Structure 1
Amino acid sequence: MTASDHATPTHCENCHEPLHGQYCYACGQSVINPVRHASHALEEVFESFWHLDGRIFRTLRDLIAPGRVALNYLAGHRARYVAPLRLFVILSVVTFFVAQFAIRTDAGTGPDPIVQFDDNNSTGDEGKRFQQADTIAEVEQIRAETLKELGQARATVPAAVPGARKGIDAAIVAINRKADQRVEVLRKDQDLSAEQVAEARAEAAAMRKDQARVEAGGAPKKPLLETAPTLADVERLRDEKLKPRQERLAKLPADAVTARKVELREIRSTNLTAGCRAAQLQIQHATATEGPRTRKAADDARVYGDNECGDIDFTMFGTEPWDEEANPVTLGSAPQFVNRWLNRQIAHGRENIARAQKDPSLYFRALVGAVPSALFLLVPVFALLLKLAYLGSGRLYLEHLVVALYSHAYLCLVMLAFFLLLVIDHAIAPHWAGFSWISGLIGTLLWLWLPVYLLLMQKRVYGNGWPVTLLRYLVIGNLYFVLLTFAAVFLAIASIVRM
């Protein structure tokens, strides 16, 4: 006898009862010892999770027929099928695992979108940029950049062609109008004097002239904080910009709340710009001294700080941008620790939005990872809607829960098929462009069939007439769609905070 051979025991190793088959009649333990048989140990792992004894395949086969699995399971034919909760968990895990590979989330590297104008001379993306600008200098910078692009486009249009430049001229007028409107809003919101407005415009004009001089190959008249050549220059220029702001802040009375917020915001903006420029210089130095070493932007940002001088402002419950200290969100009736927690979540979201803009896959992974949990929470809600819609049917809530679980299991199966279709499309479409049309058609048919499947399932399981079934289906569907919408919005927000 070899070491791998073991005599079949005559008594159960667990309870010592005599054995009369492959399983103990007293405690149910198997005769086969998985510790001594590696193949049986592996088989037991799959058996405990997948039930690969024919039930998973039989369940999936019958799940395709609307209502067949749920109806048979409720009728007592349970041994032939995977239990509904286990099936739902398995399919949701596999579906969203495949989704991680099926959906591509590479950040776009194409050119900036073209500015478009409608018939009312309103600007599209530029209008949004003006609305997001928090300082007059920023408004003037956006105005100058946009007018420069439009001027270059206008110069390429022949003047001899009647009306050829009319659209561009109208766009220039619209840009100036939008910029002037935003400047006026900022002047009122920040309680700025005419002298302060003129000072901000002069500062923006000086920056543009200096930038133009540098672009033309000349030396800057005076180094700007955003383009300071050394770390020493960064600190010197920061101090020069902060000194007058701090002096004005010290002279303001305590009750000048708006003016104090403006000065504090400008001080913070200067410090952020200085920190960003310092990070850029340190990364440049590291790149120059480390030779051909491949650099990762995420590693550099972690070590040296963010080197993209863009800040995200949340304007909520008023005209002032959100700030965790200067302008936090406060729920009047809530305890202080709740307000602190809420503002910490907003701060996390603000930081994560900036991260997601650089690497959208971070947000996508957080979102996909949260979807199974959301579906798991919605299943009992869907069962409750079924219970309320079928009051008087004599069915218990757990019976409705079985229907809800198999319904959501089929939903996961459809999504899994869709994601697998995307994977196949990514592999074949580059070599055969016509396959994209075929996969798109199949995907559309899958989603169109889903509501029909659920209607047929409801009709088959509950056995009511078509008018009553259709009425209940529409009521449950509309209510569930509303809940699903709220869940999707909450999930999108929660994913930003969690990622």
Structure 2
Amino acid sequence: MKQLTSHEGLHCANCGAPMQGEFCHECGQSIHSVLRPMHGMIEETVETVLHIDGRIVHTLPPLLLKPGFLTLEYFSGRRVRYIAPFRLMFVLCVLSFFVFHLAINKIAAMIPTNGRPLVMMNTGSIDSAANPAEVRKALQDELDGLQSASEMGVLPQNVLDQIHLDTLKLRRRASQRLVELGAAPMSAASIAAPLPVVPVQSRDQANTGDATPDMPRRPVVEQEPQPVRIAWLPNTGNARLNELLQQIHKNWQTFMDGDPGASAEAKQRMINGVFGALPPAMFVLVPVFAVLLKLFYVFRRRLYMEHLIVALHSHAFLFLSLLLITVTGMLSTWLRPHAAWTGYALGLLQGALILWIPTYLLVMQKRIYRQGWPMTVLKFWCVGWCYLWLLAIALIVAAALGMAH
């Protein structure tokens, strides 16, 4: 049982007001001093962490499973046990885009650059070799190519790991081909030997023509885009627009026609730029979505702040769903080679999460605004149609700004 404490005769150290509790009713300062033993600081820290964790436990499950519950609780004044709407939306937005960025990076690493993969292993020359000397020459040519690719200095770690695996595969295949031709196989030490480590060239050296001679550079064709002028924009606006277009064109030309290193760097730069522009674009859409709700429910006599809270909780749910869908997809990719049934089960879970998103938002709109199903479905369709167009515009602008990074 909590012990009752009397604060009679005590005064606030900050403003001098008589204390009626642990916090001053005039300035809000706590009666407890910050000068305390170390064990007291540890106790306060543990209490704060457990309090935050408690709010997470009370907030995330209903956010995902109970449409409109958090919003109605907030309207009813029961807010202490839940995370504030803006903080909830902000944290989930940053976390979901961070995880989604990781997933996109893994996918982008396997996307061909300038029409060919960053790393490509070919055992055809080894298989077609007619004698042991040709096998050894073909193996050395393939290893030289992998060595040159590993020295570019811009490849992600998963591609470097793939180069190591390809090296082992090439040597095993060459050893098998030597046995087929009646020669002695390669030793286990030779097969497992890593590629020689060569100091990575700096990007300045690569750009001045000191690149590896085995990796011929493809010239980048500089074709400046035609300047664009919009009549209703001021001169500074048109100048900024043309600057962005030129940077987009430069990045795209480097990605398509540059050497593999520069192409990979341009691709990563554009991806990072897009993901850097997405969170601000989504923050702009939240108040715009609240305006749409205000317009379609103008006769419900609700304040704009109420619609804004609905928008914050709706977007928090969308970001949480995106986070779960992305994590589920990454787990499926990781577990499928070890247990195929997990990929099937996680695929079903992903599909269920995708279908749950529109269902959740429709039920949430019905519970909060308390209209009949026909009118709710009609307004849900109209609001969703308008919002999808706004979302498409925001994503296009974010993509353009990101590609101009």
Q: Distance in 1 between matches of 2:333 and 2:288?
A: 36
Q: Secondary structure at the match of 2:300?
A: coil
Residue 99 of structure 1 corresponds to 100
Alignment of 1:416-431 (within 5 A): 416-431=323-338
Q: Is the 8 A contact 2:289 2:311 kept in 1?
A: yes
Q: Which moved more, 1:385-394 or 1:415-424?
A: 415-424
Which residue of the other structure, out of 107, 110, 123, is the alignment partner of 1:108? 110
Q: Aligned runs of 1:441-452 on 2, under 5 Å? A: 441-452=348-359
- State the Cα distance separating 1:345 from its structure 2 match: 1.4
Structure 1: state its 5+ residue gaps: 1-9, 115-290, 314-320
Q: Which letter does structure 2 place at the counterpart of 1:347?
A: Q
Q: Which residue of 1 aligns with 2:15?
A: 15
Normalising by structure 1, what TM-score?
Answer: 0.53
The residue that corresponds to 2:200 in the other structure is 295
- Corresponding letter in the other structure for 1:107: A
The answer to whether the 8 A contact 1:105-1:364 is kept is: no
- Kindly report which structure 2 residues correspond to 1:42-81, keeping only aligned pairs within 5 A, or say none: 42=45, 52=52, 54-63=54-63, 64-81=65-82
1:39 matches 2:42: yes
Counterparts of 1:299 and 1:46 in 2: how far apart (Å)?
48
Distance 1:425 1:22 in 2: 51
The amino acid across from 1:416 in the alignment is: L
| 1:465 CA drift (Å) | 0.6
Code of the residue aligned with 2:61 in structure 1: it is R
- The answer to whether the 8 A contact 2:228-2:238 is kept is yes
- Return closer, same or farther for 1:341/1:25 CA change in 2, 3 Å cut-off: closer
Aligned-partner Cα distance in 2 for 1:299–1:446: 47
What residue number does 1:164 align with? Answer: none
Within the candidate set 298, 310, 321, 1:403 is matched to: 310
Shift of residue 329, structure 1, vs aligned partner: 2.8
Q: Pick from 210, 220, 227 the counterpart of residue 328 of structure 1.
A: 227
> Secondary structure at 1:294's aligned position in 2?
coil
Q: What secondary structure does 1:54 align onto? A: helix
Q: What displacement does 1:45 show? A: 7.9
Q: In the alignment, what sits opposite 1:459?
A: 366
> 1:346 Cα shift?
1.7
5+ residue gaps, structure 2, are 1-9, 117-195, 256-262
Q: Is the 8 A contact 1:58 1:80 kept in 2?
A: yes
Q: Partners of 1:33 and 1:353 in 2: how far apart?
A: 60
5 Å matches for 1:190-269?
Answer: none
Highest CA radius of gyration, 1 or 2?
Answer: 1
| Correspondence for 2:176 | none
2:264 is the counterpart of 1:358: yes
Residues of 2 paired with 1:35 and 1:312: CA distance? 67
SS at match of 1:385: helix
Question: Which residue in the other structure is 1:378 paired with?
Answer: 285
Given the superposition, is the C-alpha separation of residues 111 and 389 from structure 1 closer, same or farther in structure 2, using an over 3 Å criterion? closer
Task: Encode CA deviations 1:237-265: one digit per residue, 9 max, x unaligned.
Answer: xxxxxxxxxxxxxxxxxxxxxxxxxxxxx
- 1:328-366 CA-to-partner distances (Å, cap 9, x unmatched) read 333456554444322221221122224554243332222
**Residue range with higher mean Cα deviation, 374-383 or 36-45:** 36-45
Q: Is the 8 A contact 1:379 1:405 kept in 2?
A: yes
Question: Do 2:277 and 2:399's aligned partners in 1 also have CA atoms closer than 8 Å?
Answer: no
Instruction: Identify the match of residue 311 of structure 1 among 213, 217, 220.
Output: 220
Deviation digits for residues 425-466 of structure 1 (CA, Å, limit 9, x no counterpart):
344233223322222221121111100100000001111111
Q: How far off its partner does 1:71 sit?
A: 1.5
Aligned residues of 1:345 and 1:497 also touching (Cα < 8 A): yes
8 Å CA contact 1:312, 1:354 repeated in 2 = yes
Kept after mapping to 2: 8 A contact 1:96/1:369: no
Following superposition of structure 1 onto structure 2, how do residues 107-186 of structure 1 map, counting pairs within 5 Å?
107-108=109-110
Deviation string 1:107-140 (CA, Å, 9 cap, x unpaired) is 33779989xxxxxxxxxxxxxxxxxxxxxxxxxx
Q: Which residue of 2 aligns with 1:88?
A: 89
- C-alpha distance in 1, partners of 2:297/2:271? 38
Q: Which SS does the other structure have where 2:100 is aligned?
A: helix
**Contact 1:102-1:419 within 8 A present in 2 as well:** yes
CA spacing shift, 1:410–1:292, aligned 2, 3 Å: closer
Provide the rounded CA distance (Å) in 2 between the counterparts of 1:391 and 1:443: 36
Answer whether contact 2:89 2:313 (CA < 8 A) is retained. yes
Which residue identity is paired with 1:27?
C
Measure, in 1, the Cα distance between the counterparts of 2:231 and 2:18. Answer: 72
Task: Give the match for residue 158 of structure 1.
Answer: none
Alignment of 1:280-291 (within 5 A): none
> Taking structure 1 as reference, are residues 41 and 322 closer, same or farther at Cα in structure 2, changes over 3 Å only?
farther
The alpha-carbon distance between structure 1 residues 477 and 330, as it changes in their structure 2 partners (threshold 3 A), is: closer
Tell me how far apart the structure 2 counterparts of residues 340 and 69 of structure 1 sit (CA, whole Å): 46
- Residue 161 of structure 2 corresponds to none
Change (3 A) 1:27 1:462: same
> Equivalent residue for 1:173?
none
Structural RMSD (CA) = 3.3
Match of 1:485 among 389, 392, 405: 392
* Cα pair distance change 1:365/1:433, threshold 3 Å: farther
Contact 2:93/2:316 (8 A) holds in 1: yes
8 Å contact kept, 1:312–1:350: no
**Structure 1 residues 433 and 469, CA, compared in 2 at 3 Å: closer, same or farther?**
same
1:344 aligns with 2:243: yes
| More deviation, 292-301/53-62 | 292-301
Report deviation, 1:31: 4.0
Check if 1:497 corresponds to 2:404.
yes
Asked whether the 8 Å contact 1:363–1:496 carries over to 2, the reply is yes
Q: How many residues align?
A: 301
Equivalents in 1 of 2:54, 2:391: separation in Å? 34
CA distance in 2, matches of 1:397, 1:11: 41
**CA, structure 1 residues 23+378, in 2 after alignment: closer, same or farther (shift >3 Å)?**
same
**Alignment match, 2:179:** none
Cα distance in 2, alignment partners of residues 298 and 23 from structure 1:
59
Cα 1:424–1:35 change in 2 (3 A) is farther
Q: Which amino acid aligns with 2:378?
A: L
Q: Distance in 2 between matches of 1:102 and 1:35?
A: 47
Percent of aligned pairs with the same residue? Answer: 36
